[in-house]
Structure formats: C-alpha cells, structure tokens
Amino acid sequence: MTIKFGWGWKIALLYLSFVIMILVLVISSSKQKFDLVSADYYKEEIAYQGVLDASKNQVALTGVLGIRASDTTVSINFPAEFSDKVITGNVTFYSAVNKEWDRSLKLNSENNVMSIDRSTLRNTSYTMKLSYAVAGKSYYQESNINLSR
C-alpha cells in the first residue's frame, strides 16, 4: 500500500520547511555577539575633528614614524625631530575579532623608541591607533599590524 501526497500536502510541507528555516535563522542571529567599537561612539564622533587635525600634523612631519614587529616586541620609532622632546600619549591596539583582545597603553618612549612586549598581545591582526603630543601639538596615526605567526 503506497501513500500518495496530493499537491496540497506538498505546499503545506514546503511552507512548514520555510517556517522552520526562518525560525532557525532568527534563533541563531539572536545568539550572535555584537561588540561596538566604543560604548560612547557619539561623543567620540563629535570630537573627531581633533583626530583629523592631529592626522594632518602627522602627515606634515619630516620624519617617518616606524613600526616594527619582532617575535618578542613591537617597536615604535618616533621621528628624529622629537629626539630631545617629551612625548606623551597612548597607543591602542584594536582587534576587530574580539573586544577582549584590545589593548591600550600609555606611551613611555626611551631614546625615541617605545617597545611593547608581544606576550600582552594576541597573534592576530590589529589596527594600531597612536595618539601622542609633543610640545603641546597633537599627532595621530593609524596603522594595520599583523601579529600572526
């Protein structure tokens, strides 16, 4: 004895499978984790003109900011024109993969070089945001750095 399905049953089965697929997508998307880059992004957006001005100051420098990653450290070499001046600011390593992997450090350069221990960073790609000031003038640079081994 064979069971025959008419066209009404086939349409009902198609509709039911579509509803199940949509429910699976809704449930899986509700469990997805979304990290904002910054919790106070609106306040940062208003102050972004300062970042643009600091970026222009960085481009206008005669020397080049050098970034080098080795197996043990990440070195930031400041331009030679800052050799006898005090450099203040911070460096942020932003990971697009996971918010917990972000690191923010205060600048402490010796002889125009700041060394950061690689053990504090994950083996991933970062956007390094360097914001610093020398003699009251602000500078800003973003660089992509890949620390994958």
82 and 122 share one domain: yes
pLDDT reported for residue 45: 80
72 and 116 share one domain: yes
51 and 87 share one domain: yes
138 and 119 share one domain: yes
49 and 8 share one domain: no
21 and 94 share one domain: no
Pairing mode, strands 113-117 and 73-77 = antiparallel
Mean pLDDT of the chain: 88
Q: What is the pTM of this model?
A: 0.70
25 and 53 share one domain: no
Helix segments in the chain, DSSP class H = 7-30, 41-46, 48-59
CATH number where 124 lies: 2.60.40
pLDDT reported for residue 40: 78
59 and 122 share one domain: yes
Sign, CA dihedral 84-86-89-94, equals positive
Q: Give tens-digit pLDDT for 6-46.
A: 888 899 999 999 999 999 999 999 988 777 667 777 787 88
24 and 70 share one domain: no
46 and 22 share one domain: no
What DSSP letter does each residue of 40-76 carry, written as one string? THHHHHHTHHHHHHHHHHHHT-SS--EEEE-SSEEEE
Q: Give tens-digit pLDDT for 90-111.
A: 999 999 888 889 999 998 877 7
115 and 140 share one domain: yes
3 pLDDT band, cuts 50/70/90, is: confident
- Which residues form the domain of 3? 1-32
Mean pLDDT of the 67-90 span:
89
Q: Give tens-digit pLDDT for 102-149.
A: 999 998 877 788 999 998 899 999 999 999 999 899 999 999 999 886
